[in-house]
Amino acid sequence: MAKRLLEIFTRGDIEPGTRLPPERQLATTLGVGRSAVREALAALELLGIVDVRPGSGTYLRGSASELLPQTLSWGLMLDEPRTAELIEVRGALEIYAARLAASRISDEALGRLREHLDDMRAHIDDLHAFVEADLQFHSELARSINNTVLLDLLQSIRSLLRVWVDRAVQQPEEASVAIEEHTAVFEAIATRDPDAAASAMAIHMNTAGARLSRSLTP
C-alpha cells in the first residue's frame, strides 16, 4: 500500500505542499480499508514524503523527491554493520536537535511534545502504541527546530531503523526507563536550557542505542 501511494505522490501530478485527500477518500479510490491507508501514510511520513499535521490534514512535502533516491538506496544496502552506523549517526543528530529545540521551540510545539510524552505514559502496557508515541515525540522535536535538512536526515534514518525500533522495547520496564529519559529531555527543553537538553538526550540515545544494537542480534 505504501508503494502504491508513493507512486501516486511522486509521479509529478500533485504539486508539493498540496493537501492530500482524506483517508476515507484514498481508501475508496484504492479499494482498501482505512487502516491500510493510515499505516501507509505513517510509513511515508517517516520517509519524509508526506507531512501529517494534526487537525489540518496530510500534505505532500516539497523536498521528498530530492532525498528519496538516496534513502531508498541506503535501504537496499542496509546490513548489520551499516545499521549500527546509522544508530550512531541518529544519536548524534538527535542530541543536536534537542540542543536547538531548547532555544527555538514554540510554546505550541512544546505543548504537542508534552502530549506525546503523556501518550507514552498512557500506553506503557501497549508497547506498539508506546513505540508510536515515542516516534511522534522525536518527530515533533525535530520539526520544532525549523531546520529542513536536519529534519529530513532524521526522518530518513528513522524510516530505515523503524523495523529495529519496533523490536527494541520488549518489556514494560524498558518503557519505564524510556519515559524517565524522555521526561528529562522535555523538562530541559521546557526550561530553555540547551546544554541540559543535549545532555538529557545523550543519556537517552545511549540507552536507546544499546537497545537497538541488541535487537540486531536474532
Per-residue pLDDT of the chain (218 residues), as tens digits, is 666 777 777 666 777 788 888 888 988 988 888 888 888 887 777 666 788 887 788 888 765 444 454 455 445 445 566 778 888 899 999 999 999 999 999 999 999 999 999 999 999 888 888 888 998 999 999 999 999 889 888 887 877 776 666 566 667 788 899 999 999 999 999 999 999 999 999 999 999 888 877 766 65
Q: Rounded to an integer, what distance in angstroms lies between the CA atom of residue 67 and that of residue 57?
A: 23
User: What is the residue whose three cell numbers read 502504491?
Assistant: 4
The reported pLDDT for the residue numbered 67 is 46
Sequence ranges of the domains in the chain: 2-60, 78-215
Q: Please, what sign has the CA dihedral across residues 142, 145, 150, 151?
A: positive
Q: At the top level of CATH, which class does the domain 2-60 belong to?
A: mainly alpha
Q: CA-CA distance, 144 to 190, in Å (whole number)?
A: 12
Phi first, then psi, for residue 157 (nearest 5°) are -65, -40
Q: What pLDDT does 76 receive? A: 43
pLDDT of the residue at 181: 96
pTM above the 0.95 mark? no
Residues 6+ apart with CB under 8 A from 56: 19
CB 130 within 8 A of CB 116: no
Q: Note whether 212 and 164 are within 8 A (CB).
A: yes
What's the pLDDT score for residue 78?
52
CATH of domain 78-215: 1.20.120.530
Structure confidence at residue 201 (pLDDT):
97
Per DSSP, helices labelled H in the chain are: 2-10, 23-30, 34-47, 64-77, 80-104, 107-122, 127-143, 148-168, 172-190, 194-215
Half-sphere exposure of 14 (CA within 13 A, CB side): 22
